Amino acid sequence: MKLQLLIPQFNETDEVMRPMLESISTQQGVDLKNEIEVLIGNDGSDTRLSAEFLGSFSYPIKYVSFDHSGLPGTRGRLFDLATADYVMFCDADDMFLTNLALYTIFSFLDKGCDALVCDFMEEVLNRKTGGSLFFPHKKDITFVHGKIYRRQFLIDNGIEWHPDVKGHEDSGYNCLAIKVAKDLKYCETPVYLWKWREGSICRKDPLYVPKTYTRMIYSNGWLVKDFLDRDMVEEAKYSTAILVYGTYYMLNKPIWLDPMNAKYRYETEKCFQEYYREHKPLFLSVDPQVRNQIIAGTKRRVMNEGVLLEKFTFEDWIRHIEGME
């Protein structure tokens, strides 16, 4: 079998999952019965997909139940059950963008690779009109969307979902896998749609990032440790600098400067303080040219999001972090 699609499921119903499974059933140019299989893992939820619904699709679907462990734990358990040459982690409430998505993916897999990074589209809600807006993600290595990995490559290199990293776990997993991959390919054709869903926790709550940024810091700390364990020191330095400057510019955004969100800012800065104390030698040893590239890239990203305030200097902020009680 060429490809298995690994999909965690918790509170997603038949109707929520329908777009994903139907987008698979309409794929052209691939042998759906023999070349793919869908593995769906119920993460200890009482919301069960119906046998009638799953049986309505002509390609193989395996539905298994686990004790509750969270999203990364369920992805890891699904991977342990996988047997195909390649695996792709998908979300239950997304879908493939076109009916040639798998054909496009297979054109790369047929030539072989450790990892394939495909462009994908993100759907967001236009609050003024109620309609959808679509934004491209090009060569993105943060989100799990549009990533395909050779299963044996992940096994041979011990690349696993860390069950304790619950929130922003994609970035650590993908960054590690892509840095370790010796045969990495990019597909510039968008194949996957990160759909908007009102019930999605990370999309419906405007304070999702302030409330969960401590998990981003923790995820990066795990990634840095993994790089160091593999003697990938330069990668560890780079990841540390990405987190440090990313946090600085993140905290310049209006949502973080709002006094109503002072609690989340304090919790984030205290978490960052612990991170910085541990990783300061790595951060300070980053090559100046690399440091400037990271700063420039982070600034561009923030400007693309419509924000670049810099209400306080980086040096002042670091002094504030180091002096926090």
Whether residues 214 and 232 fall in one domain: yes
Lowest mean pLDDT of 86-90, 215-219, 296-300, 309-313, name the range: 309-313
Mean pLDDT within 78-98: 97
Whether residues 264 and 242 fall in one domain: yes
pLDDT of residue 202: 59
**Nearest to residue 114, comparing CAs of 159, 177, 169, 173?**
177
Dihedral of alpha carbons 122, 181, 80, 224, sign: negative
Counting residues of the chain whose pLDDT is more than 90, the rounded percentage is 78
CA angle 108, 90, 20 (to 5 degrees): 100
Mean pLDDT within 53-78: 96
| pLDDT > 70? residue 104 | yes
Mean pLDDT within 41-51: 97
Type of residue numbered 151: R
pLDDT of residue 306: 60
| Domain carrying residue 269 | 208-323
Question: Domain boundary at 174, 203, 232, which?
Answer: 203
Which residues contact residue 266 at a Cβ distance below 8 angstroms, ignoring those fewer than 6 apart?
none
pLDDT of residue 73: 93
| pLDDT > 90? residue 68 | yes
37 beta partners: 4
Mean pLDDT within 118-123: 96
Measured distance between the N- and C-terminal CA atoms of the chain, rounded to whole angstroms: 56
pLDDT of residue 268: 96
pLDDT of residue 312: 77
pLDDT of residue 193: 97
| pLDDT > 70? residue 314 | yes
DSSP letter for each residue of 298-312: HHHHHHHTT-----S
Q: Calculate the alpha carbon distances from 149 to 45, 57, 88, 145, 241 in Å.
A: 28, 25, 7, 12, 27
Return the H-helix or E-strand segment holding 314. Answer: helix 314-323
Residues 82 and 39: beta-carbon distance below 8 Å: yes
Under the banding of pLDDT at 50, 70 and 90, the label for residue 307 is low
Question: Domain boundary at 144, 172, 203, which?
Answer: 203
Q: Tell me the per-residue pLDDT of 180-226, one tens digit each, with 9 for 90 and over.
A: 999 999 999 999 999 987 766 555 677 888 889 999 999 999 999 99
pLDDT of residue 203: 59
How far is residue 119's CA from residue 87's CA, in Å, rounded to a whole number?
17
Whether residues 183 and 215 fall in one domain: no
Whether residues 162 and 279 fall in one domain: no
312's tokens = 């306080």
Whether residues 117 and 139 fall in one domain: yes
Whether residues 163 and 42 fall in one domain: yes
Mean pLDDT within 294-323: 82
Whether residues 41 and 169 fall in one domain: yes
Whether residues 228 and 262 fall in one domain: yes
**Nearest to residue 22, comparing CAs of 90, 77, 91, 99?**
99
CATH number at residue 199: 3.90.550.10
pLDDT of residue 299: 83
Counting residues of the chain whose pLDDT is more than 70, the rounded percentage is 96
Under the banding of pLDDT at 50, 70 and 90, the label for residue 78 is very high
Mean pLDDT within 104-132: 92
Whether residues 60 and 185 fall in one domain: yes
Q: Tell me the per-residue pLDDT of 163-173, one tens digit each, with 9 for 90 and over.
A: 777 777 888 99
Whether residues 149 and 36 fall in one domain: yes
Mean pLDDT within 27-33: 97
| pLDDT > 70? residue 255 | yes
Whether residues 184 and 232 fall in one domain: no
Please list the alpha-helical segments (H only) found in 206-313: 208-229, 233-250, 254-257, 262-284, 288-304
Whether residues 112 and 175 fall in one domain: yes
The total number of structural domains that make up the chain: 2
Question: Domain boundary at 165, 185, 203, which?
Answer: 203
